[in-house]
Amino acid sequence: MNCKSFRSVFNFAFTQQRTLSTEKYTQKIWSVKETKKLLDLVEIHGTDWVLLQSHFPDRGRKSLGSRYRLLMRKNAEELEALLEEKKSVPQVKSFNKTEDKLLDDLVKSVGLDWDKICLSFPSRTKSQLLERYAVLVEEPLNRRGPWTTSESKQFESLFAIYGEDFHRISSSLKTRSIKQCQIRHTYFSNLRMSASTLTKEQIETLKKTVEEYGPEDFKQVVQKAKLPYSLIVEDVRKYYWRELDPKIVVGEWQDHEVEFMVQLYEELDGCMELVQARLPIKRGLKDMWIHYYEDIEKKKSLL
């Protein structure tokens, strides 16, 4: 077969594949069963979306790739919760004045014997009673309004020691209730401070801490490095492996490296994280994006 006929056959096959890949699929919510199936198949066959699509007749390749990338952005706890069958969670009713008075009277009569107190509250758990009593006792002592700089620094230090044990944080802080501490933590968690905003000094501290304690437990690493508590541990872990991994090569790129990266980027549906994992020489993710866009500009200038 000569070159022209080979090229025509290739173009026909490529056109057919593109026609099949552009077939429209009905969008529907992913079930837990489908999600588990996708993860199992990726573990066996890798990210060969053409092969995996044969197992999902109602899903397109882009849908499979998008779903998988979304799952990979989640940490272990979030992924485990996602794969569990959804169960209805009963709503907890607020304590009323009658319950508060009964709780106060029982503590005065039997002391802090929570097993006995629980007998008078059949619809309440021991932890609910403990938390409510802490609120009733501490409320008169707690401050209202904005947190002071001293309180904020103390809260940050206590959170690095106790984690999400807000009972101990509140008792050590003394000026804020358990609920106030929980709200403050939720507020800063929702801000989702990016690991890419770390200063040079914090980055160097992070590197040294990983060398000392290992890369297995990044929650411990974040605490030992005394990084801001508003950082998401999973974000720090991803940032380290994408930008600070000792295996990452820093230096000039060869032309064939850039070409191979762009080719992988197109094959893997635009997921640069997967491209980074497949490069023979590991490069930093930010560096990869810079060279990718430089290549695009270079090709535009040649047109």
- Is residue 249 included in any domain, yes or no? no
Q: What percent of the chain has pLDDT over 70?
A: 81
Residues 178 and 102 grouped into a single domain = yes
- Is residue 89 included in any domain, yes or no? no
Q: What pLDDT does residue 2 have? A: 47
Q: What pLDDT does residue 59 have? A: 86
Angle between helices 126-138 and 178-191 (to 10 degrees): 100
Q: Compute CA distances 232 → 123, 143, 170, 204, 238, whole Å.
A: 36, 28, 22, 18, 10
pLDDT, tens digit, 9 for 90 and up, residues 59-81: 888 888 888 888 877 766 677 77
Query: Is the pLDDT confidence value at 164 over 70?
Result: yes
Q: Where is average pLDDT lowest: 86-90, 92-96, 150-154, 246-250?
A: 86-90
- Is residue 92 included in any domain, yes or no? no
Q: What pLDDT does residue 297 have? A: 83
Q: What pLDDT does residue 45 have? A: 75
- Looking at per-residue pLDDT, the higher value among 133 and 13 belongs to 133
| Reported confidence tier of residue 209, pLDDT bands at 50, 70, 90 | very high
Please give the residue range of the domain that contains residue 274: 255-302
Question: Of 35, 59, 83, which closes a domain?
Answer: 83
pLDDT, tens digit, 9 for 90 and up, residues 81-118: 777 754 444 556 788 888 888 888 888 888 878 888 88
Query: Is the pLDDT confidence value at 235 over 70?
Result: yes
Residues 101 and 177 grouped into a single domain = yes
Average of per-residue pLDDT across 200-212: 91
pTM of the model as a whole: 0.41
Q: Could you give the number of structural domains in the chain?
A: 4
The residues with which 231 forms a beta bridge, in sequence order, are 193
Q: What pLDDT does residue 132 have? A: 80
Question: Of 168, 189, 210, which closes a domain?
Answer: 189
Question: Of 189, 206, 229, which closes a domain?
Answer: 189
Average of per-residue pLDDT across 275-290: 90
Q: What pLDDT does residue 92 have? A: 62
Question: Rounded to an integer, what distance in angstroms lies between the CA atom of residue 136 and that of residue 103?
Answer: 10
| Highest mean pLDDT: which range of 13-22, 87-96, 214-223 | 214-223
Residues 166 and 108 grouped into a single domain = yes
